[in-house]
Amino acid sequence: MPSGLPNALTVDLEDWYHSVLEVEPSDWPRHEDRVASATERLLACLAERGARATFFVLGHVAERHPELVPAIEAAGHEIACHGYAHRLVYTQSPEEFRDDLHRSLSLLRGQAKTPIRGYRAAYWSITRACPWALDILADEGLVYDSSLYPTRTSLYGVPDAPRRPFRLRTPGGRELAEFPPSVLRFPFRNLPFAGGIYLRLLPYWFVRWAMRRFRRAGRPALVYIHPPEFDPDKPRLPLRFGARVLHYARLDAFRVKVPRLLADFAFITLGELLDQYAANGSLPTWSFGSRKW
Residue 100: CATH number of its domain:
3.20.20.370
Amino acid, single-letter form, for residue 125: S
Give me the sign of the Cα torsion angle 88, 94, 96, 102: positive
- Where b means 16+ CB within 10 Å and e means fewer, 16-54 reads bbbbbeebeeeebeebeebbeebbeebbebbeebebbbb
34 conformational bin, left if phi > 0, alpha if psi -120 to 50, beta if neither: alpha
pLDDT of residue 289: 66
Residue 132 maps to a domain: yes
Residue 292 maps to a domain: no
Give the three-class secondary structure for 119.
strand
Between residues 231 and 133, which one has the greater pLDDT? 133
In the predicted model, what is the mean pLDDT of the chain? 92
Residue 85 maps to a domain: yes
pLDDT digits (tens, 9 = 90+) for 178-223: 999 999 988 788 989 999 889 999 999 999 999 999 999 988 999 9
pLDDT of residue 258: 93
Q: Which helix (H) or strand (E) holds 104?
A: helix 94-111
Mean pLDDT of 18-37: 91
Mean pLDDT of 221-232: 91
Residue 290 maps to a domain: no
Q: How far is CA 39 from CA 13, 42, 99, 122, in A?
A: 8, 5, 27, 18
Q: Identify the band that residue 162 occupies on the pLDDT scale cut at 50, 70 and 90.
A: very high
For residue 259, give its domain range.
7-283
Q: Identify the band that residue 291 occupies on the pLDDT scale cut at 50, 70 and 90.
A: very low
How many domains are contained in the chain? 1
Residue 46 maps to a domain: yes
Dist CA 63 CA 100 (whole Å): 13
Instruction: Please determine, for residue 292, whether its predicted confidence score (pLDDT) is greater than 50.
Output: no
pLDDT digits (tens, 9 = 90+) for 55-90: 999 999 999 999 999 999 999 999 999 999 999 999
DSSP character at residue 195: B
Q: Identify the band that residue 2 occupies on the pLDDT scale cut at 50, 70 and 90.
A: low
Residue 124 maps to a domain: yes
Residue 215 maps to a domain: yes
Residue 1 maps to a domain: no
Residue 8 dihedral angles phi and psi, to the nearest 5°: -95, 130
